A and B are shown apart, each in its own frame.
Chain A
Amino acid sequence: MNRWVVLLFGSILIWGCGPGGKSRDSKFQQYIVQGEELYVTHCSNCHQKSGKGLGLLYPPLDESDFMDQNIDSVICLIKNGKSGEIIVNGKAYNQPMPGVPLLSDLEVAEIATYIYNNWTHDKGMIEVTRVSSILEKCESR
């Protein structure tokens, strides 16, 4: 009897930890944890830990219509970088972003999963298989 109570209580605790009450499997959690670490190393200098960007130099990620509408291009630009003007939330940004070509497909997937499930985003896990097929089709800049 006692064991069941403990088990039930434990499950509730674990269940309760997932944001929005949704359960997240451990692979998803691992993507998020690794993704955050990679984000801090490669992205947060410019886009800030808070995802708010900086002035009109570096666009925000915390709320971004560009991110919402262009998942494939975002995955490409994490690895390959991007130059030229982009419009984010109605504002023009034009600072070239260097890519991080050394990132593996898995690392790109982890960063993408982190940024797409943080701040205001809730897009769910972005699997490495999906990332690999997108990366094959990136247009060269």
Chain B
Amino acid sequence: MKYGALIFISLLILSACKKKEQPLPIFGQREVVGNDTVYHHIANFKFVDQDSSLITNDTFKDQIYVADFFFTSCRTICPIMKTQMLRVYEATSDIPDVKLLSHSIDPEYDTVALLHSFAERLGVSSDRWHFVTGVKDSIYKIAQTSYFATAMEDKSEPDGFIHSGAFLLVDKQQRIRGKYDGTKEDDVNRLIADIARLKKEYE
């Protein structure tokens, strides 16, 4: 009988674990305008991808996407980031409204042709994973002001740039909902789980 009570209490405690999942946080500043809250969102952008297609905010209309910053000649963290982003690509292959966006921070060297060959060699399709190049300053600016990621030239670095290895999860309203270390497998597992959580918000 004593045990029965104990089991009952344990079950009660366990049942508390099954509470409703918290929605993912919304990153950045927010402003209240009248009755509406305006959240930080990705500024307007216009880049070109590996197929020479114009990539703008509209490309990701009604889409969840994951963004990062890299360059093809980078030998430090980018290869690890690409290995991890490829895991995200494979994990989301059955989800039609999830896309990936990799910005080159060395756009003068990373031409459309070079990005095309890079994506092809990685074995990924351009309708799900866009590798973009564009005006260097606009890429640095959007990295820092919209995605809270670091990207800049620094001649003292081995490869000439400093940039963060972050992966940013962006929702369908172009708000940042998660930031992950794209060089760490565990963190990328969390991203993959969060994509599924975010997806549920739209069901």
Contact = CB atoms under 8 A, between A and B. Distances in A.
B93 interface: no
Interface stretch (A25-33, A53-61, A105-113, A129-137): A53-61
A45 interface: yes
B75 A54 contact: no
Given A46-B75, A46-B79, A96-B73, A54 B118 contact: no
B121 A56 contact: yes
Interface stretch (B40-48, B61-69, B80-88): B80-88
Interface in B17-73: 72-73
A45 B72 CA distance: 13
A95 B118 CA distance: 9
Nearest to A91: B121
Interface residues of B, number: 15
A98 interface: yes
Helix, strand, loop or mixed for chain B's interface? Answer: helix
A51 to B, nearest CB: 13
Contacts of B123: 55-56
Contacts of B75: 45-46, 98
A96 B121 CA distance: 14
Interface in B118-139: 118, 120-123
Nearest to A42: B75
Contacts of B83: 48, 54
Contacts of B76: 45
B95 interface: no
B79 A54 contact: yes
B140 to A, nearest CB: 24
B172 to A, nearest CB: 30
A46 B86 CA distance: 13
B91 interface: no
Contacts of B9: none
Contacts of B118: 57
B82 A54 contact: yes
28 contacts: A45-B75, A45-B76, A45-B77, A45-B79, A45-B80, A46-B75, A46-B79, A48-B83, A54-B79, A54-B82, A54-B86, A54-B122, A55-B121, A55-B122, A55-B123, A56-B121, A56-B122, A56-B123, A57-B79, A57-B82, A57-B118, A57-B121, A57-B122, A58-B79, A93-B121, A95-B72, A95-B121, A98-B75
